[in-house]
């Protein structure tokens, strides 16, 4: 990778991990086999982000709408989530990775909530890659929850309505203390946001991969980052302004 692309590596990558069930069906396997294979892809992508110098990785693991899936699949996903929290977090800690779970954690069992707290506490002091897992998460929930937080502050007299600004909302919403996602990757060929980070994606670049998530590994990640490096991000400005050819 040349120096120009190195300078354009995204600080924050968000991924919609799609295609686990289709991967399993193609192999005449139960759906949970696809999710387990997807966990291998997660490990590979985490390694790739560390190697590429990405600061933040946010993965969409379980949406607030996924509870509508067959109960057998939901139960298997919860078991896999709990197992990952207990086992994988030790590896994350070993490699100086900090873990955060975003979403409505109250929707999980008490056992899973304790495991989340333990995992976040264990890695809280790490200063390497910031890994965020969106679980029982929805972008609309995130926006409404942020509005509730600010409304409560107004009700408590700690905030005036006229003091609520876009900047304050941005600071209060999930991941508000981190750089906004520069790049969103979605696998399996689908081209939709699926209620993911709706506020945070205001100026994100999007990259759609035809690969099913279990097949998306470090090489595919590098290709997505290379594609991002070739894009010009204008944030409302003209190309000439961005390139320094016109007065700002």
Q: Enumerate the active-site residues.
A: 18, 66
Residues 6+ apart with CB under 8 A from 241: 234, 247, 248
Q: Is 209 helix (H, G, I), strand (E, B) or coil?
A: coil
- Do β-strands 12-16 and 98-102 pair in parallel, antiparallel, or remain unpaired? unpaired
**Would you say 214 and 42 are in contact if contact means Cβ atoms under 8 Å apart?**
no
**Would you say 228 and 204 are in contact if contact means Cβ atoms under 8 Å apart?**
no
Backbone angles phi, psi at 186, to 5 degrees: -125, 130
Output the CA torsion 220→60→102→182 (10° steps): 50
Residues 6+ apart with CB under 8 A from 170: 176, 199
> In DSSP terms, which residues pair with 247 in a beta bridge?
none
């Amino acid at each position: 990778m040349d120096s120009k692309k190195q300078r354009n590596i995204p600080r924050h990558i968000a991924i919609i991990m799609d295609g686990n069930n289709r991967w399993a069906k193609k192999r005449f396997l139960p759906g949970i086999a696809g999710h387990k294979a997807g966990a291998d892809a997660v490990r590979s992508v985490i390694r790739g982000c560390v190697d590429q110098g990405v600061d933040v990785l946010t993965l969409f693991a379980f949406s607030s709408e996924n509870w509508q899936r067959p109960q057998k699949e939901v139960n298997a996903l919860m078991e896999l989530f709990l197992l990952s929290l207990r086992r994988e977090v030790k590896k994350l800690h070993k490699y100086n990775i900090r873990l955060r779970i975003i979403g409505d954690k109250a929707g999980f069992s008490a056992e899973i909530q304790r495991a989340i707290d333990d995992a976040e506490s264990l890695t809280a002091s790490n200063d390497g890659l910031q890994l965020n897992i969106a679980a029982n998460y929805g972008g609309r929930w995130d926006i409404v929850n942020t509005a509730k937080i600010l409304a409560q502050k107004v009700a408590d007299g700690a905030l005036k309505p006229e003091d609520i600004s876009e900047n304050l909302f941005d600071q209060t919403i999930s991941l508000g203390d981190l750089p906004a996602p520069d790049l969103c990757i979605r696998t399996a060929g689908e081209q939709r946001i699926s209620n993911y980070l709706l506020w945070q994606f205001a100026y994100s670049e999007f990259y759609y991969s035809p690969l099913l998530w279990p097949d998306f590994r470090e090489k595919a990640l590098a290709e997505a980052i290379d594609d991002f490096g070739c894009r010009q991000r204008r944030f409302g400005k003209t190309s000439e302004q961005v390139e320094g050819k016109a007065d700002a």
